[in-house]
Structure 1
Amino acid sequence: MSRKEAPASGAAGAPRIGMLGGTFDPVHLGHLRSAVELHEALALDRLHMIPAPQPPLRGRPQVAAEERLALLEAGIGDTPGLYADGRELAREGPSYSADTLAQLRDEYGPAARLVMALGEDAFSRLADWHAPARLFDLAHIVVMARPEHSLEPTARLEELIGQREVADAQALMRSPCGGLLRLTLPSRMAISATAIRQRLQEGRSVRYLLPAAVERAAVSRRLYQ
């Protein structure tokens, strides 16, 4: 979507745009329910769900990025506000979130409220990411917290966070970027992509773990077998 097509809302008509990256190997109902609740909690205009061809700090995904994008598109279907975004597939080498955020910032403009959402596990390693301080120059960071998980930040992470943390979404959206919000979503679905891949490999049921369209595609194409 071009900048002139960007939806307008939020402060002074600025669009609220989210980015949720991951391997989505495969996308499951936990991913999608979190995306819907994130979209609602932050009153986003659009949430870009972006499969990473090769995450720098993780092993290589089991299925090719093009297949994972197709599964993501099938899983999202016509869900309002969610968008399967394959922009990182065109890049060579590791997928750096800062580069993707820079693209989104250019598309939606300097006033857009741009948010990168990630889970607590990924957030605990944020200081090890490529150009971590640049992330805050481009966007807000929203950490999807897990009440049962206790995060012990390292000194490097604490230095990176500084005084950025705000109390709620309203405070976060007062500026285009630079804030940090910990957000506990209503539904916490303990679904594991690793366990799903294992089940598919063994020919066991994945019913009600995946959207029906994703299950049909994965089984018919024998993607994890």
Structure 2
Amino acid sequence: MKPLAIFGGTFDPVHLGHLSVAWEAAELLDADVCLMPASVPPHRPPPMASAAQRVAMLRAALQGQSRLTLDTRELERSGPSYTIDTLIELRAEQGDRPLLLLIGADAFAGLPSWHRWRELFEVAHVGVLSRPGVEAELSDELQHVISGRRVEDVSVLHHTMAGKLIELAVTPLEISATRIRELLAEGRDPRYLLPAGLFDDPGLLAPYRS
């Protein structure tokens, strides 16, 4: 059974950097990837676009393919979006299917600040999305927890449900959602930074226009 990988974020708005990384991870892992927008992210300011607006943008962006899917469960949950709660819920639904949390290298370095972070490895693997030549410094506490969990062979993830750590060197697209929001507020057109589907309906980008 193919692993199910979870790629979270605010997606405010979803852009080509998000999609290219998710797609490349799907190919490297031979996995299905679901994009999971966060409702109230504990570590950053609230999104500018509403939950419904971000879902509409994601649906438009994901048209025409089936490998990347959308999961809105965190938007339907009240309170902060804690990753451990989502993974426990998915584990109950997916049974023995391997689960994998995709996370950027910088965010992974900050994992000890996450809610019940040690429990993540009990219910899922962790895939660290790294850029070639860039290494984040990890705390001694995190180094201790991941000791013995690293694997390089993707097939290991297909035969175990959880508990491993794999580093995935992905092609970086240096696209900033903040900069996109600034461009839209200035009335400019970030045509090749966003999925083409977002331009089919002028109302999709309305939250960011002045």
TM-score class normalised by the smaller sequence = over 0.9
Distance 1:35 1:24 in 2: 12
Distance 1:56 1:43 in 2: 30
Query: Which of 12, 34, 47 is equivalent to 1:61?
Result: 47
Residues 50-101 of structure 1 show CA distances to partners (whole Å, capped at 9, x for unaligned) of 0001111111111112211111111011222111111111111110111111
1:170 lines up with 2:155 in the alignment: yes
| Cα gap change, 1:220 to 1:72, in 2 (>3 Å) | closer
Structure 2 partner of 1:209: 193
In 2, are the aligned partners of 1:218 and 1:224 still within 8 Å (CA)? Answer: no
Q: Secondary structure at the match of 2:189?
A: coil
| Cα gap change, 1:128 to 1:218, in 2 (>3 Å) | farther
What displacement does 1:151 show? 0.8
What displacement does 1:167 show? 1.6
What displacement does 1:149 show? 2.4
Structure 2 partner of 1:42: 29
Query: Which of 156, 169, 177 is equivalent to 2:141?
Result: 156
| Cα gap change, 1:122 to 1:218, in 2 (>3 Å) | farther
Residues 127-172 of structure 1 show CA distances to partners (whole Å, capped at 9, x for unaligned) of 1101111110000000000124221111222122222111231233
What displacement does 1:216 show? 4.0
Distance 1:138 1:99 in 2: 10
AA aligned opposite 1:26 = P
Identity %: 41
Q: Using structure 1 for the length normalisation, give the TM-score.
A: 0.88
- Choose 157-166 or 34-43, whichever is displaced more: 157-166
Structure 1 partner of 2:114: 129
Gaps of 5+ in 1: 1-8, 10-14
Distance 1:220 1:102 in 2: 32
AA aligned opposite 2:74 = E
How many residues are matched?
209
| Cα gap change, 1:129 to 1:211, in 2 (>3 Å) | same
What displacement does 1:113 show? 1.0
Q: Using structure 2 for the length normalisation, give the TM-score.
A: 0.94
Aligned-residue Cα RMSD (Å) equals 1.5
What displacement does 1:49 show? 0.6
What displacement does 1:218 show? 5.9
In 2, are the aligned partners of 1:17 and 1:115 still within 8 Å (CA)? Answer: yes
Q: Secondary structure at the match of 2:208?
A: coil
Query: Which of 178, 195, 205 is equivalent to 1:194?
Result: 178
| Cα gap change, 1:217 to 1:210, in 2 (>3 Å) | same
Residues 192-223 of structure 1 show CA distances to partners (whole Å, capped at 9, x for unaligned) of 11111110111112011001112344666521
In 2, are the aligned partners of 1:53 and 1:64 still within 8 Å (CA)? Answer: no
In 2, are the aligned partners of 1:22 and 1:51 still within 8 Å (CA)? Answer: yes
Gaps of 5+ in 2: none
1:89 lines up with 2:75 in the alignment: yes
Distance 2:150 2:87 in 1: 20
Distance 1:125 1:16 in 2: 25
AA aligned opposite 1:62 = M
What displacement does 1:35 show? 1.1
